[in-house]
Structure 1
């Protein structure tokens, strides 16, 4: 589910690995997940 949300914000799925960094990684991932979605070009 996290990967889907990260992709929805316009970032690549590899950003999920930022959560492996203790404390700061979790905060960054939270910031990415609650951020706005990217505009769709469809």
Structure 2
């Protein structure tokens, strides 16, 4: 997890995919927020 913050390639890719997904689905915002919260807790 610490490695992802030092080299945040995965996190940047995740947020970019979330942005693209959100543009195509309003529901994705709620799902994405839940997944992001879960991702940060790991």
Instruction: Settle same-fold status: TM greater than 0.5.
Output: no
Higher relative contact order (CA 8 A, sep 6+): 1
Higher helix share: 2
Task: Name the larger-Rg structure.
Answer: 2
TM range (shorter): 0.3 to 0.5
